[in-house]
Amino acid sequence: MKSTLVVGALLTVMTATGAFGQAIKLANVAELSGGGATVGTNWKNGIDLAIEEINAKGGVLGRKLEVSHADSQSNPGVARAQVQKALDAEPYVLLGPGYSGSVKVTAPLAAEAGIAQIMGGEAAELTQAGNKFLFRTSFGQQSSMPKVAKYIHDEMKAKTVAVVWVNNDFGRGGRDVIVKELDRLGSKVVADLSTEAGQADFAADVGKIKAANPDAVFVYLNEEESARILKELKRQGVTAPLMGETTLIGQKVIELAGDAANGARGHVGLTTDAPVDLVKAFREKFSKKYNYVPDHNGLKGYLAVYMVKATTEKMGKVDPKKFADTLHGLTIKAADEPGILMDVTFSDTGDIDRQSFLVEVVEGKQVVKQVLPKVK
Amino acid sequence: MSNLFDLLVAGLATGAIYALVAVGFTLLWQTSQTINFAQGEFVMLPAFLMLAAMQVGAPFWLAIILGILLSMILLGLAFKLLLVDPMMRHGVLPLAIATMALAIGIKEAVKQFFSAEASPFPSIVPTGEVAILGHAVSLQSIGVLVVAILAVLGLTTLLNRTSLGHQMQAAAQNPTVARIIGVPVERMILLTFLINAFLVALASLLITPIYLAKFSSGEVLGQAAFIAAIVGGFNQVRGAIAGGLLIGVLDNLAAAYVSTQYRAAVPMMFLIAVILFRPQGLLGRAEERTV
Amino acid sequence: MSGFAKPLKIALGLAVIAALIIVPMNFNRYGLFILSQWAVMSIAAMGLNLTLGYAGQVSLAQGAFVGIGAYAAAIMTTHGWPLPAAILVAIVLSFAIGWVLGYPALRVQHHYLAFVTLAFSTLAFLLFRNESWLTGGIYGISNIPRPHIFGIATNKPLPFYYVCLGSLAIVSLAVWWLIRSPWGRAFMALRENPLRAQSLGIDTRRYTLMAFAIGSALGGVAGALYAPLTQYIDPVPFNLSLSLDLLLMVIVGGAGFYFGPFLGAMIAVLLPEWLRFAEGYYLMLYAVAVMLLLIWSPTGILGILDRYLAERRTKAASALRAVAKSRLETVQ
């Protein structure tokens, strides 16, 4: 009788300490195969890198982080199934997906389960549906595109603009916001060209731009296609200034397009090319571990994990129920949490506010032309 | 109409790529009724083999040779022995489905063992431009076009002018009779698989500098080549060339004069029209067998 | 399956049905979602099996018909129409489009239907993506409601699983009846010996078209269930790869076998999920598994069983089957 009691007590102590030292479980659902595989793999690698770093330094509140990765096959139906599976296992926070469509189908599930979801989608509408559990890791297009439109109108003094976009939810989303903004500012969209993901031949598209003879061209494509259209623009002798986002003037595009990238300008919200020391250090660590330079999705995944860390440390405990409330309105300073790379504030809708840059490619190098401060 | 010239040249260059891929497609179909849904991945893979060879220190020229040889072993010999042979006698569809699975397998393997990122690839053609009739034309485009035409000329010469070619044709058109008159049918079929593997490796070498080495780049190519093969006539090498060039040009003209959003629709409409009005394909002959 | 004694067969069938109803009751939401997906894909594959296995026509557009059904359901139910009405529209639409598509193709030559459907598949995807006034374009349609059946809300995973399972049961019975009806006998006559069928006065082209259109209509039904299942649709899942996937299900299950699509959908929907323990390698494993299976038995899973049973049956019967089978393959 006595011995059973002792054993019982021992067991209780053991499970209690076990719970104390238990890992914090995160679940990631991302596009690891299919059309978004590059996006999802970057995102996943960013997550793994951040977790490795955090665990090497003793974890969060003394507990290790653990993540499970699931592949959504870039298909909203599969994403739904995998998020369901992840939520059934009751993770602390849900990470991903990256495609806006997949976010749309999974966000209600996470909200219903009361679990915060930190995702990579950039479509404007995602954070406008009143979901209290959804957080971005980058600017939504509703906050980045107006800055670009303003630059095209005010600085480039373009009265006519050609808009080239890739016909997926990323490209279409950006196109819709910027066309509206340009219209509001009084710049006329004289060519509105949709292109396909993976397109190799831009002769026809550039021909149309040339015929429209705009004052500026806004290019919103994936990196590889950006490089191809830059070459074609040069070949056909289009001289109008080019404006884009991270995807037009990133280091990878410059590498692929060579001197055709010179003169292109872009708004850089979140990029490994940002002229910030912490970001440069991140880039180095990432390329050392994975043998390639990450795109902004790698950064997003990395930040997502540090958002979890900063929020949890702010709460002082691991409480999935209070996580979302704590992150709303939170400002995380890079001085306090170097992993967040740049000072950032989260709004009540889960949107992000952060410094950004306007960059021009000069002789194969990015030169910062302007620093755009945080809105608030 | 300066624009039209640009469109035609670019279209022909893209079309030449499709053509090169489509030729092998029709070869496999003729000799073994293989519909190879992995043909696009077959073009994607050799570039990675060459990149891998360069990573372990081989110079570019050696990497090319190694890449081509490895492709012929993997995508020619092994493909035939391991997948096609066991299934050839069981109809067209199970084999076609198996090649679909193979396509998934190749894509995933490249993504897993190499990278999900696009890698740049050195060009064997100088990357500059020359002026033709006052238009800048990229040397790469010309290179692709020239090699595609040479490859096809070589292939048609082989098929029509040499006794080996005649044997291959006999094996393709009527294996039973060919066997009776002493043609080593099995060896001829293997030869077409090796030729296909050589052609896809060549295509890979030519187009990867433009398309970049990426695990998913075969999807677009494979489908375009399939359409090109049908349009041109599934049973003719010449047809595949015509089909490829036509699809490339049509795609560009559609984007320029119809709608960029529906550019992919125009070749499809054309495909349907070809089937309705010239079902044997543009340059194909009416089929001699009920396959 | 004719090797089994009849009572045994009935008992086995009832056991499977009972298991499908009872076992999922304590599944979690993920398990129920996957199983619902299996039921929906089985319906689409059954349609394709009718086209392919019974009428010998290759369709590369079954995924597009699933898309047509899904968009019909999504558009109608988000505008307040009940799901059954949407299913009806999906059936009529898919049947009519299938008929219009097949008519010219089959007029020219027997196996050109495959190529026409390939082109159609791409066209349908472009329409879904570009006509945003109707389909929401690349943004898709979200908040697709789940229906009330006999006054019961099916928002929760389990009730909606029963909706999918019930629909699968109805479709299965309909197909069972169809292949035993005079039409079905005509389809089979077509498969076994088209020349003879023609000489007996069967309008082969009309019956082939009919089989294709009915098969397409079942694709529409599957789509109309897929939309409320995921509650969000965009154009990407309905591109050519879904059509190829469905073709894979039919072939891997066993084309021309009544139970083939059920097993094929299991392989395509459930097997990748089972293999997820392999993490990054799971799709590679899946591809290898499919290839090995087809190398082992090109006639699919039921082909294996069939081969085994054929050995025990009389030589004459197995010879008959072989003739039918070879006929099927040459037709393709």
User: Using a CB-CB distance cutoff of 8 angstroms, which residues of chain A are in contact with residue C286?
Assistant: none
CATH number at residue A253: 3.40.50.2300
Q: Do the domain assignments include residue A101?
A: yes
Q: CB under 8 Å to B33, separation ≥6 — which residues? A: B88, B92, B95, B291
Distance from CA of C153 to the nearest CA of B (A): 39
* A193 and chain B in contact, CB less than 8 A: yes
- Residue C155, CB-side half-sphere exposure with 13 Å CA sphere: 7
* A210 and chain B in contact, CB less than 8 A: yes
Confidence grade of residue C313 (pLDDT, cut at 50, 70, 90): low
Do A260 and A286 fall within a single domain?
no
The least confident of A88-97, B146-155, C271-280 is B146-155
Examine the pLDDT at B241 and tell me if it is beyond 60. yes
Read off the pLDDT of each residue in C70-92 and give the average, rounded to a whole number.
97
| 3-state SS class at B6 | helix
Examine the pLDDT at C27 and tell me if it is beyond 60. yes
pLDDT for position B287: 52
A74 and C236: CB-CB below 8 Å?
Answer: yes
* A266 and chain C in contact, CB less than 8 A: no
Distance from CA of C59 to the nearest CA of B (A): 12
- Dist. CA B290–CA A69, nearest whole Å: 50
Each domain of chain B, given as residue ranges in start order, spans 2-277
Residue-wise pLDDT tens digits, A224-246: 999 999 999 998 899 999 999 98
C230 and A76: CB-CB below 8 Å?
Answer: yes
CATH number at residue C122: 1.10.3470
Do A113 and A216 fall within a single domain?
no
Examine the pLDDT at B281 and tell me if it is beyond 80. no
pLDDT for position C15: 94
Read off the pLDDT of each residue in C103-111 and give the average, rounded to a whole number.
75
The least confident of A121-125, A163-167, B71-75, C137-141 is A121-125
Read off the pLDDT of each residue in A262-280 and give the average, rounded to a whole number.
87
Do A256 and A333 fall within a single domain?
no
Pick among A74, A201, A213 to test the B interface (most B CBs inside 10 A): A201
Residue from the list A40, A196, A255 with its beta carbon closest to the beta carbon of B120: A255
Structure tokens at A277: 């020391």
Structure tokens at B16: 């030449």
Q: CB under 8 Å to C75, separation ≥6 — which residues? A: C134, C135, C141
User: Using a CB-CB distance cutoff of 8 angstroms, which residues of chain A are in contact with residue C28?
Assistant: 84-85, 88
Examine the pLDDT at A277 and tell me if it is beyond 60. yes
- Dist. CA C1–CA C306, nearest whole Å: 7
Structural contact between residues A215 and A156, judged by C-beta atoms closer than 8 angstroms = yes
Read off the pLDDT of each residue in B166-189 and give the average, rounded to a whole number.
89
Confidence grade of residue A94 (pLDDT, cut at 50, 70, 90): very high
Q: Which residue of A has its CA nearest to B138?
A: A235
Q: C196-228 burial by CB neighbour count: b if 16+ within 10 A, else e?
A: ebeeeebebeebbbbbbbbbbbbbbbbbbbbbb
Gap between the terminal Cα atoms of chain B: 45
Cis amide leading into A320 (omega within 30): no
C112 and B279: CB-CB below 8 Å?
Answer: yes
Read off the pLDDT of each residue in A343-356 and give the average, rounded to a whole number.
93
pLDDT for position C77: 97
The residue range of the domain holding A172 is: 142-268
Q: CB under 8 Å to C49, separation ≥6 — which residues? A: C215, C250, C253, C255, C256, C257, C260, C261
Residue-wise pLDDT tens digits, A159-212: 999 999 999 888 999 999 999 999 999 999 999 999 998 898 899 999 999 999
CATH domain B2-277 topology: ABC transporter involved in vitamin B12 uptake, BtuC (1.10.3470)
- Write down the ipTM of this complex: 0.92
Read off the pLDDT of each residue in B109-117 and give the average, rounded to a whole number.
93
Do A33 and A119 fall within a single domain?
yes
Distance from CA of A362 to the nearest CA of C (A): 35
User: Using a CB-CB distance cutoff of 8 angstroms, which residues of chain C are in contact with residue B101?
Assistant: 248, 286-288, 290-291, 294
Examine the pLDDT at C315 and tell me if it is beyond 80. no
- Dist. CA C180–CA C173, nearest whole Å: 11
Distance from CA of B157 to the nearest CA of A (A): 31
A33 and B7: CB-CB below 8 Å?
Answer: no
* C132 and chain B in contact, CB less than 8 A: no
Number of structural domains found in chain A:
2
How distant is the alpha carbon of residue A213 from its chain centre?
33
Read off the pLDDT of each residue in A106-119 and give the average, rounded to a whole number.
95
Residue the block writes with tokens 């076994």: C192
Number of structural domains found in chain C:
1
Q: Do the domain assignments include residue A362?
A: no
User: Using a CB-CB distance cutoff of 8 angstroms, which residues of chain C are in contact with residue A172?
Assistant: 137-139
In which region does residue C279 sit, left (phi positive, over 0), alpha (psi from -120 to 50) or beta (all else)? left
pLDDT for position A18: 42
Q: Do the domain assignments include residue A203?
A: yes
Structural contact between residues A60 and A308, judged by C-beta atoms closer than 8 angstroms = yes
Do A89 and A205 fall within a single domain?
no
Q: Which of A214, A244, A268 is a domain's end point?
A: A268
Structure tokens at C149: 């059946």
A207 and B248: CB-CB below 8 Å?
Answer: no
Whole-number average pLDDT of chain B? 89
The least confident of A203-207, B185-189, B275-279 is B275-279
Read off the pLDDT of each residue in A346-374 and give the average, rounded to a whole number.
91
Q: Do the domain assignments include residue A368?
A: no
Q: Which of C165, C152, C153, C158 is nearest to C26 (CA)?
A: C158
- Dist. CA C9–CA B283, nearest whole Å: 54
pLDDT for position A2: 46
Residue from the list C105, C284, C329 with its beta carbon closest to the beta carbon of B90: C329
- Dist. CA A104–CA A126, nearest whole Å: 7
Return the DSSP state at B119.
B
Distance from CA of B15 to the nearest CA of A (A): 10
Residue from the list B3, B212, B255 with its beta carbon closest to the beta carbon of A224: B212
User: Using a CB-CB distance cutoff of 8 angstroms, which residues of chain A are in contact with residue B136?
Assistant: 235-237
Structural contact between residues A219 and A253, judged by C-beta atoms closer than 8 angstroms = no
* A85 and chain C in contact, CB less than 8 A: yes
User: Using a CB-CB distance cutoff of 8 angstroms, which residues of chain C are in contact with residue A123?
Assistant: 139
Distance from CA of A332 to the nearest CA of C (A): 32
Do A116 and A207 fall within a single domain?
no
Do A258 and A289 fall within a single domain?
no
Residue-wise pLDDT tens digits, C117-134: 999 999 999 999 999 999
Do A91 and A153 fall within a single domain?
no
Do A146 and A247 fall within a single domain?
yes
pLDDT for position C330: 54
Q: Do the domain assignments include residue C1?
A: no
* C268 and chain B in contact, CB less than 8 A: no
Q: Do the domain assignments include residue C24?
A: no
Confidence grade of residue B172 (pLDDT, cut at 50, 70, 90): confident
Q: Do the domain assignments include residue C183?
A: yes
Residue the block writes with tokens 């479709």: C171
Is C124 buried (19+), middle (13-18) or exposed (0-12) by CB count in 10 A? buried
Per-residue HEC secondary structure of chain A comes to: CHHHHHHHHHHHHHHHHHHHCCCEEEEEEECCCHHHHHHHHHHHHHHHHHHHHHHHCCCECCECEEEEEEECCCCHHHHHHHHHHHHHCCCCEEECCCCHHHHHHHHHHHHHHCCCEEECCCCHHHHHCCCCCEEECCCCHHHHHHHHHHHHHHHCCCCEEEEEEECCHHHHHHHHHHHHHHHHHCCEEEEEEEECCCCCCCHHHHHHHHHHCCCEEEEECCHHHHHHHHHHHHHCCCCCCEEEEHHHHCHHHHHHHHHHHCCCEEEECCCCCCCCHHHHHHHHHHHHHHCCCCCHHHHHHHHHHHHHHHHHHHHCCCCHHHHHHHHCCCEECCCCCHHHCCCEEECCCCCEEECEEEEEEECCEEEEEEEECCCC
Read off the pLDDT of each residue in B127-144 and give the average, rounded to a whole number.
82
Q: Which of A244, A268, A292 is a domain's end point?
A: A268
Structural contact between residues B14 and B252, judged by C-beta atoms closer than 8 angstroms = yes
A77 and C28: CB-CB below 8 Å?
Answer: no
What proportion of chain C, given as a percentage, has pLDDT over 90?
70
* C281 and chain B in contact, CB less than 8 A: yes
Q: Do the domain assignments include residue C5?
A: no
- Dist. CA B79–CA B197, nearest whole Å: 10
* A75 and chain C in contact, CB less than 8 A: yes
Confidence grade of residue C205 (pLDDT, cut at 50, 70, 90): confident
Per-residue HEC secondary structure of C8-71 comes to: HHHHHHHHHHHHHHHHHHHCCHHHHHHHHHHHHHHHHHHHHHHHHHHCCCCCCCHHHHHHHHHH
- Dist. CA C57–CA A291, nearest whole Å: 49
Read off the pLDDT of each residue in C229-234 and give the average, rounded to a whole number.
96
* A198 and chain B in contact, CB less than 8 A: yes
Position with higher pLDDT, C24 vs B276? C24
C330 and B95: CB-CB below 8 Å?
Answer: no
pLDDT for position C318: 59
B98 and C290: CB-CB below 8 Å?
Answer: yes
Q: CB under 8 Å to A275, separation ≥6 — which residues? A: A357, A366, A368
pLDDT for position A353: 92
Distance from CA of C242 to the nearest CA of B (A): 12
Position with higher pLDDT, C225 vs C320? C225
Gap between the terminal Cα atoms of chain A: 66
The residue range of the domain holding C293 is: 29-331
Residue-wise pLDDT tens digits, A7-52: 444 444 444 444 456 899 999 999 999 989 999 999 999 999 999 9
Q: Which of A268, A285, A314 is a domain's end point?
A: A268
